[in-house]
Structure 1
Amino acid sequence: MTETYSKSRQRAEIAFGNIQSQFFAKNKAMEELESHAQSQQAKTLRLREARLAKQRDDRASAMSVLLAKRAKAC
Structure 2
Amino acid sequence: MARDPQSARERAELNFGKTQTQSLARNRIVEESEAIARERDAKTARLKEMRLQKEAEEMRAGTAPRTSKSTAKN
Q: Any idea what SS the aligned residue of 2:51 has?
A: helix
Runs (5+) with no aligned partner, structure 1: 1-6, 70-74
Q: How many residues align?
A: 61
Q: Percent identity?
A: 7
**Displaced runs of 4+ in structure 1, greater than 2 A?**
none
TM-score of the pair, normalised by structure 1: 0.79
Instruction: Return the index of the structure with the highest Cα Rg.
Output: 1
Report the CA distance between 1:57 and its aligned residue: 0.3
2:43 corresponds to: 49
Q: Which amino acid aligns with 1:58?
A: L
Partner Cα separation in structure 2 for residue 23 and residue 37 of structure 1: 21
Partner Cα separation in structure 1 for residue 7 and residue 26 of structure 2: 29
Partner Cα separation in structure 2 for residue 15 and residue 57 of structure 1: 63
Q: Deviations over 1:9-68 (max 9, x none)?
A: x11110000011000110000000000000000000011111100000000000000111
- 1:29 corresponds to which of 23, 29, 40: 23
Indicate the RMSD between aligned Cα atoms, in angstroms.
1.2
1:16 corresponds to: 10
Residue 54 of structure 2 corresponds to residue 60 of structure 1: yes
TM-score of the pair, normalised by structure 2: 0.79
